Structure formats: structure tokens, C-alpha cells
Amino acid sequence: MTVDLTQFHDAFFEESFEALDAMEAALMKLDVGSPEAELVNTIFRVAHSIKGGSATFGFTEIASFTHSLETLLDELRSGTMPVTVALSDLLLKSVDVLRAMLRAVQAKQPIDAQRVSDLQFDLEVAIADKNKSEAVPPAAPGGGLPRPAIHGGSLARIEDTLSVLDKDTALARWRIRFHPYRELLARGNDPLRMLRELAALGELAVRLDAQMLPPLAELNPQDCYLAWSLELPGEVTEEAIKQVFEWAEGDCDLTIERQAAETSDLPASPQAAAVAPAPAAAAVAAAPAVAAAPAVATAAATARADAPTKVEASVSGLGDSGSIRVSVEKIDELMNTVGELVITQAMLSQLGSHFDGPDAEKLRGGLAQLERYMRELQESVMRVRMLPISFVFSRFPRMVRDLAQRLGKQIELKLTGEQTELDKTVLEKIGDPLVHLVRNCIDHGIESPDARVAAGKSAEGTVHLDACHRGGNIAVEVSDDGGGLDKERILAKARARGLVGANDVLSDSEIHELIFLPGFSTAEKTTDVSGRGVGMDVVRRNVKELGGKIDLTSEPGRGSRFTITLPLTLAIVDGQSVAVGTETYIVPLISIVESMQLKETGVTRLSGHSEVLSFRGDYLPIIRLHELFGVEPRSRALHEGLVVVAEGDGRRVGLFVDDLLGQQQVVIKSLEANYGHIEGVSGATILGDGSVALILDVPGLIRAASMRAAA
Amino acid sequence: MTTNGSHQVLTFVLGNETYGVDILRVQEIRGWSAVTKIPHAPAHVLGVLNLRGSIVPIVDLRMRFALERAEYTAVTVIIVMSVNTPAGRRDFGVVVDGVSDVVDVNSAEVKPAPELGSRSATDYIRGLVSVAERMVVLLDIDRLIGRDLALSSGVDGEEALAASAA
């Protein structure tokens, strides 16, 4: 039976990219000098699993590269190589190269071989350097661990770890019980290979358990009937052993336990005769200083049960977070069905309210309960799509570090509210705008260390990313403690560009608005970081597309703060239903300023055509929705209907409608899926009675109306 | 379902004529219900309907073929079909007078439509076939409707057509 491996490619790529993100995050947290073992392990595991996967799928370049990377990481992991700034740079670059390689393979494009081989060379040089400077030859007798060369790390600390390890390793040997399930071979695992790998870790004692072997006639050659008891010297790390069995996890019963040194003497064991020792096993077994007497052995054997580092590794799942991977389509399907249920429920409620009879009360009670559960169900399903914003924030430590290095600035990045959750679709689209903003803060906001000191501030600037829930919205703030916006320069630039008249006086907020104009940049020199003037306008547009808005406050010398307000989800909008003739439209609440009834005198006609209304000292154009959409209204007289004052793209208009119907949350459905885009309409929704209502897009409406007026 | 060069066609009536579409394109047949108008749409696109959670545009074929308008009644029928456009598969409904039958059509018996006047007037007709002494006009709905949908999504109609033909 051949398995088409290509069906697993997508999963491999997806997992690899996620793993690389995790690796990058771990690298950023890694302290120079005293790396945390868990972080190093995380990093190692990523390289190891990518190597395994790419080798399986035949991506040889990736496998070869990760092999070099793994070798280097192994040195880090065993503590024989210190973490230096240069090394962590090298590892970060490796993450980049790996990402690029994976992307290239995924897109079936050639890999940038030069870049890869350059970096692989660097990795190998680093490994070679380490081996050269090895101070003490490895495998010092009794010591167990090779003494590392100290490259400026904390000598005392490493000595400490060593002595602790010494005690442990001298005392105990590893006893491994490896009992594969029958289907182990079918899952692509080869026990022989695993035993060889174990043998490479140290002298290995092997005892085969063939009890389960059936008579030849009943034997299925594709099943595994064998089990093994294995012993390894105590110097071997537990991780190294687990690593060997990593791919077999879930396909076998595995116990790894450390036993007291006294009992490790193989001849003392009654089954010793059955043991087939690997070449030098006897010599190692004798290595612990004390030769154990049988009496001692039994005592120690009982003590073994509560041995300190007993590890039950028969884990079928990874068991860390208990999560499953589900495709977005499936969730969308679920959302759709729930949306339908909500509509059906609304329909039933409507029907039930007119019901009469002996059981009418009971029916209404049941319907009310149904409504409550429906709401809960809908919220739960929505929550499935929510992800913490840390998915986006996690890319910034690396970016800030690189940028600060390149620009010669000292910057501390503060991240708060990373656990704030928002819809996956919003999350995917907010990344780029945030990158722009953070870049801007670093490039324009934070001054050079000298300038900061001269201004009486600490040399290190701070960029702060924060996320929090605010009402039904998410607020994401990017702030810095830099120089703030230079209003004079912005104004001068705007005048030079002819965006502002020479004698116009602008308020602060109007000046702030200027930086969101297309093609506006005040950077003295164009760097590759920013200054091309394709930034803030794109940021604003992207945020708008998400149904959000961006605000800016700035204080000279104290810094600036960008606040992005976003809806929790793109799937639901709070809307005001309005009636125009027989049609119902939904106006998003976020666009509405207020609604009012006009007096006959409140409206002025400009040059006979366009109507304007006076609103808080401003004159707003009136858009008659019935004209724009070609619907027959109940009344054409403005004072008989209502005007909804709405805002979009920084402009306010009055929308003339027949009536307001009510506010509700509506599920947004795409019109584009089966039809196409309609100017002034952002989508559609299904109302309680099953009919369709269009959701208005106020900025689009304003554009459409002004085009009509111009035509 | 194409065996021996024959395929199944759903036939429906529009005025005095009988038309046919490939049965594999038909999603469902449902009764008439009021539609929600959409602004700036061609006159024959009546509006949109909720079809089990997705929003589906409804086209009046009488208006599309410049026939006399008929009243929409309880027996008016909407055939929901899927059409391939350059932008992918789309669903839409057509309003017809009534559904007749499902018939087997042998490809060899399909005659090309006679060319009358401009080519574009008949390019959505796949051919004519005689079924039980009635002439059935076989429609190419990709050309007939795909163009409307492509137009409404801002793609140039001719371009889209060229792309779909290619």
C-alpha cells in the first residue's frame, strides 16, 4: 500500500510555520549567558520536527539545513555552548531562511540556494569553533558530562549545574520499557532504527521480549509483536531518550525511569541470563563505584518504585493544551447554520407571540428558553473564531529589535493585553497596519539616544502596544515616548504640497489628520523603514475596511499615541433598521451620529438642487436614500420622514428615510458571493421573517451620492 | 449522467416557448416569494432572496428575453441554478412561468440555432432540439447569466466572456 504523502503537505507547512513562530518567540526570550532550559528545548524541538517532516516529504534542502541547525542547537541544549548575541542573531537568521525555504517549497518555487548555503556555512563554522575551543575532552570519567568551554557565561552557574548533574548521573541508570503496539510498523516507525539511535547515546543493554510472538502461521509480517527492555547509562539526558521515541508516541507503551545505581548491575538481576548486552554494556554497568550485593539490590529495588524522576511517557496526545486543529471553513459552516437557527428561532418567536389557546403560555415559555439558548450557542460559536491578539503581537519583539539595531536606537517594547481576543478575520487584517504604526514610532517617534539624553529623557525609548476591550469594540493602542508629531514641519510640508493654503489656520487635530493623507511623509530622508509616504493613508484605509477607526493624540516632546478601534468581529454588526418604502435597510450603529425629525424650515436648498440641513453649526448634505436606490418612498416630504445623521470618511451627511424600525445585531452575509459589489452597500443580512435586508456602507453612500451630484 | 452522448435536461415554459438547461446545473426549484431589490441592478435582476442562508440574486427571464411581463403568482416558479463565471461558481435563481419535465437529449440531435441578425443575440443558445414534437431551446446559462453577474461585479462584460470562453 502506498500512501500519497502530498495530502499531508499542507498540514506540514502549517505546523512548520507555527513552529517557527514559536521558535522565534523563544529565541527572543532567550537570555544571553544563562539560557532557560525549557526555551532551548522548545527551539530544539522545532528544528527537530521540521527536519523529520521535511526528510519524510523529500524536501532535502530543508532537511539538510535543519540538520546543521539541529547540531548547533544540540550543543546549546547540552549546555556545552553558551548563548551569545552573535549566536542568537545566527539562529534568528536561520528562522528567516527556514521560513523562506518553506515558502518557496510550498509555492513550488526554487529555493534561494546561495542564502541557504551561506547561512548553513555560518552554522557549521559556529559548531566547528565550539569544538576547537573545547577546553576539557568530553566524557570525563565519572563526571559524565563534557566540561563546556566558557565563553563569558557565568562560570559559577555552570559549575553548579555540573555538580548537580554529577550526583544524579553517578547514581542512576535509565531503565526503559518499550512495548510497541502492533501497528507501529504501519505508522512508519522502525524499532531497529530507534534502538540504533539509543545505542548511539551510550552503552545500551537490550533485552528482547518475544512472548507475544504468535505461531508462524498466524503471524502478520506487517505487525510488530516484539517488546524490549532497555538500559542506558545515567549520563544520557532524559530528553535525548524521549527524542528517540518522539515519533512513536501514541503507538507504544513507553516507560522511562531512572533507577538507583545499585540495582543497575545487570548480573544482579535474575533475568540477567536472558539479557543480550550491547558490546560494552558490562563495562559500563560496572562503572558506578560500588558493586552491589544482592541484598542491597532488593532493598533498592523496592525503593525504585518511588524513584525521584520516574517518567510515564505513554502519552497518546501531547496533552499540553488539549486543543484541536479545525479548518476555518468548518467553523464558517457552523456559523452559517447557527445563523439560520437564529433566524428560524426569531420566526417562531414572532409566530408564538400571536398564538392563542390553552398551551400558548407554555409555548411562549419554551420559545423564550429557546431564544436564550440560541444566543448562548451563537456566542459560543463566535468565540471559537476568536484568537488572542498575541498572535499578531508576537512578531513585534523581533521586528523592533532588528529595526532598533539598524537605526542605532535603543528601544524597549512593552506588550500588554496580549490575551485580548478578537475574530480571526480581523486578526489577520490588523497585522499590517500595526506593523506600519510600530515602524513609524521607531523611525519617526523615538529619537536617537543622544537626542533623548539631551532632552532629559532616558536613552532607551519605549514603544508600547496595548489591546483591550472597550464596549463592544477592541481598542489597540500603539504609543511611544518619543518626540511627538512635529506640527510645524507637517504644516510646512502640507503647504509646500499645496494641501493647505498658505494662510489657513489649522487646529491640532486637523494637523494630525494631514498625516493620513495619501503621499504625505515628513521624513527628511527616505529610509527603507519608512518615509515613502505610503503608510498612514494605507493604515487608515485598512482599518476602515475592517469597520474600525484610527485616532491620534500627540504631545510635543512626550510622544504620540495611535488608537485603533475595531469591531469584535466582522461577522456581526450592530445596526439600526430603517424603512424606505417597502424596503428595509440596516445602517451600522458605528456610523450613526444621531437621528432626528426635520422641521420644514430646517432645510435649505442650494442652487435649487442639493438640500442641506443645519446640524450643530454645520451644514450637511441630505442624501435621499429612495432616490439613490430607486425605491418608491412613503413620502417625499422631508418633514414627514426622518433624517439619520451619519458619518463616513470624516464627512457627515443626513440620510433621509421613512422611518426607524429598531436596533439589532445582524449577521453579515456576502452579496459578492453570488452577485457582486454594490456601491453604498457593504453586505446583506437575513431578517427575522426570512427576508433579506441590505446593510449600508456609509462612506460608499457618500461617494455614490457625490458622484451622482457631479454627474 | 452523460451516457451515449445523451444528457438530461430540465425543461421549462416561458410564454409560448419551451427552454432547457442542463439538469446538473439545477440546485433546486422553489415557489415565488418577494425579493429584496438591489440598487443599480439591470432591470431583469429583480433582487435577492435568502436561500438557506446565502444571498442569491433572482433574474426574470421574461425580461431578459424582452418578453411581455407576467404577474408573479403563487404558481410562479424560481429555478435555482449554478453558473460558472471568471470569479468562480455562483448561484442564482431564474423566474419562469412553469417547470415542464426532465428529458433525455441526445447530443447528435441538437441542431445549432440559425444565425439571425447579430451573433450576440443568440450566443447564449446552445442549440435547438425536438422533444415530443415540441422545439426546446437549450440555454448556455454561463453565457446568459454569467455575463450579468460579471457586469455587476465590476468586471468588463466582454472581457469576462472572453475569459470564460477561453
Question: pLDDT tens, A496-543?
Answer: 877 777 777 777 778 888 888 776 655 544 444 444 445 687 788 888
Residue A463: per-residue pLDDT: 92
Decide if B34 and A691 are in contact by the 8 Å CB cutoff.
Answer: yes
Alpha-carbon torsion angle A416, A420, A425, A427, nearest 10: 0
Q: Is B153 on the interface with A (CB under 8 A)?
A: yes
Listed residue (A45, A39, A41) closest to A26, CA to CA: A39
Q: Is B39 on the interface with A (CB under 8 A)?
A: yes
Q: Is B90 on the interface with A (CB under 8 A)?
A: yes
Distance CA A484, CA A685 (A): 43
Residue B20: per-residue pLDDT: 92
Contacts of A672 in chain B (CB under 8 A): 153
Determine the average pLDDT of the residues in B84-94. 83
Residue A558 pLDDT level (bands cut at 50, 70, 90): confident
Residue A142 pLDDT level (bands cut at 50, 70, 90): very low
Residue A123 pLDDT level (bands cut at 50, 70, 90): confident
Q: Chain B closest CA to A7's CA: distance in Å?
A: 24
Specify the CATH number for the domain of residue B115.
2.40.50.180
Residue A299: per-residue pLDDT: 42
Decide if B36 and A691 are in contact by the 8 Å CB cutoff.
Answer: yes
Q: Chain A closest CA to B125's CA: distance in Å?
A: 23
Write the Ramachandran bin of A438: left for phi over 0, alpha for psi from -120 to 50, otherwise beta: alpha
Residue A294, pLDDT > 50, answer no
Residue A609: per-residue pLDDT: 67
Residue A321 pLDDT level (bands cut at 50, 70, 90): low
B85 falls within a domain: yes
Q: Chain B closest CA to A8's CA: distance in Å?
A: 26
Residue A290: per-residue pLDDT: 42
Listed residue (A478, A486, A412, A400) closest to A443, CA to CA: A400
Q: Cell for A544?
A: 476602515
Sign of CA dihedral A377, A379, A382, A386: negative
Q: Cell for A510?
A: 486637523
Q: DSSP label at A445?
A: I
Q: Chain A closest CA to B56's CA: distance in Å?
A: 6
For A7, A358, A577, B93, the CA distances from A589, given in Å and listed in that order, are: 45, 41, 10, 32
Q: Cell for A424?
A: 480571526
Residues forming a β-bridge with B20: B11, B138
Which of A109-123, A127-141, A391-405, A523-537 has the least mean pLDDT?
Answer: A523-537
Contacts of A675 in chain B (CB under 8 A): 38, 48, 55, 57, 90, 92, 149, 152-153
Q: Cell for A579?
A: 424603512
Residue A517: per-residue pLDDT: 77
Number of Cβ within a 10 Å radius of residue A437: 27
Residue A278: per-residue pLDDT: 43
Question: pLDDT tens, A450-495?
Answer: 888 988 888 889 999 999 887 667 889 999 988 888 888 888 888 8
Decide if A686 and B53 are in contact by the 8 Å CB cutoff.
Answer: yes
Determine the average pLDDT of the residues in A216-236. 80
> Which residue is closest to A626 within chain B, CA to CA?
B39
Which of A674, A678, A685, A695 best probes binding to B when mutated, by most B CB atoms within 10 angstroms? Answer: A674
When CB atoms are compared, the residue of B37, B52, B56 closest to A340 is B52
Q: What is the mean pLDDT of chain A?
A: 76
Distance CA A634, CA A657 (A): 9
Residue A113 carries which side chain, given as an amino acid letter?
A: A
Which of A263-277, A356-370, A407-421 has the least mean pLDDT?
Answer: A263-277
Contacts of A669 in chain B (CB under 8 A): 53-55
Contacts of B48 in chain A (CB under 8 A): 671, 675, 684, 692
Residue A154 pLDDT level (bands cut at 50, 70, 90): very low
Determine the average pLDDT of the residues in A231-250. 77
Residue B149 pLDDT level (bands cut at 50, 70, 90): low
Residue A218 pLDDT level (bands cut at 50, 70, 90): confident
Listed residue (A298, A301, A308, A327) closest to A258, CA to CA: A308
- Using the CB atoms, write b or e for A182-219: b if 16+ within 10 Å: eebbeeebebeebbeebbebbbbbbbeeeeeeeeeeee
Decide if A675 and B38 are in contact by the 8 Å CB cutoff.
Answer: yes
Domain that holds residue B140: 6-165
When CB atoms are compared, the residue of A669, A675, A679 closest to B57 is A675
- More confident call, A151 vs A514: A514
Distance CA A125, CA A115 (A): 15
Q: Chain B closest CA to A572's CA: distance in Å?
A: 14
Residue A696 pLDDT level (bands cut at 50, 70, 90): very high
Q: Chain A closest CA to B163's CA: distance in Å?
A: 18
B23 falls within a domain: yes
Residue A135: per-residue pLDDT: 45
Helices first, then strands: H and E counts in chain B: 4, 10
Percent of chain A with pLDDT over 70: 81
When CB atoms are compared, the residue of A681, A691, A694 closest to B50 is A691
Q: Cell for A391?
A: 498572535
Listed residue (A546, A266, A269, A549) closest to A422, CA to CA: A546
> Which residue is closest to A677 within chain B, CA to CA?
B153
Residue B120: per-residue pLDDT: 57
Residues forming a β-bridge with B47: B58
For A435, A436, A477, A701, the CA distances from A393, given in Å and listed in that order, are: 9, 13, 12, 35
Question: pLDDT tens, A251-288?
Answer: 778 878 777 544 444 444 444 444 444 444 444 444 44
Question: pLDDT tens, A40-91?
Answer: 888 888 888 888 888 878 888 888 888 888 888 888 877 777 778 888 888 8
Number of Cβ within a 10 Å radius of residue B133: 5
Percent of chain A with pLDDT over 90: 7
Q: Cell for B26?
A: 439545477
Residue A298: per-residue pLDDT: 42
Strand bridging mode A692-696 / A583-588: parallel
Determine the average pLDDT of the residues in A199-217. 80
Question: pLDDT tens, A90-101?
Answer: 888 888 888 888
Residue A150: per-residue pLDDT: 41
Percent of chain B with pLDDT over 70: 81
Residue A644: per-residue pLDDT: 93
End-to-end CA distance of chain A: 69
Sign of CA dihedral A606, A612, A617, A618: negative
> Which residue is closest to A332 within chain B, CA to CA?
B53
B1 falls within a domain: no
Residue A28: per-residue pLDDT: 81
Tally of domains within chain B: 1
Decide if A691 and B92 are in contact by the 8 Å CB cutoff.
Answer: no
